[in-house]
Amino acid sequence: MSTEKKILVVFGATGAQGGSVIQSLLSIPNSPYQIRAITRNPTSPRALALSSLGITLAAADLNDAASLTSVLTGAHAVFLVTDFWADISAPTQEIEQGRRAIDVLAAIPTLEHLIWSSLPSIKDASGGKYSAVVHFDGKTEVTEYIKGRHEKLWAKTTELWIAPYYQIWISNRVVFGPKKVIDDGREVFVLSSHAHGSVKVPMVDVKETGLVVSAILAKGQDLYTKTVSMIGCDSSSQAENLAMWGKYLDRDVLFNYISQQTTEEYLKNLGMPEYLVRDLVELPLALEEFEGRLYRKKGIVLANEVRAGRKLRGWEEYVKGENWEGFLKD
């Protein structure tokens, strides 16, 4: 009997999602997979750190079909993620990259399972009312491309919806996190939004992506053509999350409900392109109007079900485990 391991190709290996997948697979005793980590720059510090763990590195660019063919040859399973935020000057680039990768994947004869990191369509969920959230809907276009152009590939694909990260407060604080202000000599952390504080926004710890992907791989064919929704917390509101954070860290906090126009002006002053301003204005409105219905709907498999009822980390657990030292100083 052959003991040769199957090849698992992980895109975004030095990023949040791909990095989590690799760490999870490394923690599994006698894993059936040999990991091939894909990165644009195999000499970066993060890539070299992976290499030091014995991970095979391979360089590829989602803009280059030939490089994709090279790194995907012989693959049995693939975790595919694209990065909209890598170049916000090109709103359709992520769609083009996704389609290009899908075309190459469809021609790989050894492929048994594709896990595609996507997102729900805001446009579809809202019946067209909110049609500018391109960083969600672009991924959906790639999903529809798989279904429409590559039926055989879709037949062995699992779509994974990952809710907004808890870590976004730290990684993109200027847009999404609370800002430190001084009010009459008192330090206050203010979270501003044109969606009401009572809105329950679905969120998740991105570091648990690997746990879910490992469970999906273990389920195999049972999850072909299925969509798995990864939510850690959607039962507490924005204001409640902020209050819990402040209480734990012993900091004064304030939820500040602002107008849509104020948000637009703020984002424009950051130098964001007009299309992205519309995107980031519409998303909170959609999350508020369709609360609880974007990541949970008929036919969707929740990540907790895939993991046999083992729950993903909630907001409070994440807050208590995160390092907030730098965040509090800035």
What is the 8-class DSSP label of residue 161?
E
Q: From CA 7, how far away is CA 18, in angstroms rounded?
A: 15
Residues 103, 138 share a domain: yes
113-118 and 252-257 strand pairing:
unpaired
Q: Enumerate the H helices of 27-133 as residue ranges.
A: 45-51, 65-72, 93-105, 122-125
CA 232 to chain centre: 13
Q: What is the pTM of this model?
A: 0.96
Our count of domains for the chain comes to 2
Phi and psi of 282, rounded to 5°? -75, -35
The answer to whether position 28 is within a domain reads yes
The answer to whether position 328 is within a domain reads no
The answer to whether position 147 is within a domain reads yes
Residues 114, 29 share a domain: yes
Domain containing 173: what range? Answer: 169-198+236-287
Tell me the pLDDT tens digit for each residue of 191-204: 999 999 999 999 99
| CB burial readout 42-52, b (16+ within 10 A) else e | beeeebeebee
C-beta atoms surrounding 203 within 10 Å: 23
The answer to whether position 301 is within a domain reads yes
Residues 175, 161 share a domain: no
Task: Return per-residue pLDDT of the chain as tens, 330 residues.
Answer: 456 899 999 999 999 999 999 999 999 998 999 999 999 999 999 999 999 998 999 999 999 999 999 999 999 999 999 999 999 999 999 999 999 999 999 999 999 999 999 999 999 999 999 999 999 999 999 999 999 999 999 999 999 999 999 999 999 999 999 999 998 889 999 999 999 999 999 999 999 999 999 999 999 999 999 999 999 998 899 999 999 999 999 999 999 999 999 999 999 999 999 999 999 999 999 999 998 889 998 899 999 999 987 899 999 999 999 999 999 988
The answer to whether position 80 is within a domain reads yes
How long is the chain? 330
What is the 8-class DSSP label of residue 208?
G
Give the containing element (helix H, strand E) for 117. Answer: strand 113-118
Sign of CA pseudo-dihedral 58, 63, 67, 72:
positive
Q: From CA 182, how far away is CA 225, in angstroms rounded?
A: 51
Residues 119, 263 share a domain: no
**Residue 91 amino acid letter:** P
The answer to whether position 37 is within a domain reads yes
Residues 132, 263 share a domain: no
Residues 177, 154 share a domain: no
The answer to whether position 141 is within a domain reads yes
For residue 23, what are its two tokens? Answer: 């760490």
Q: From CA 97, how far away is CA 41, in angstroms rounded?
A: 17
Tell me the pLDDT tens digit for each residue of 55-67: 999 999 999 999 9
The answer to whether position 215 is within a domain reads yes
Residues 66, 28 share a domain: yes
Residues 207, 264 share a domain: no
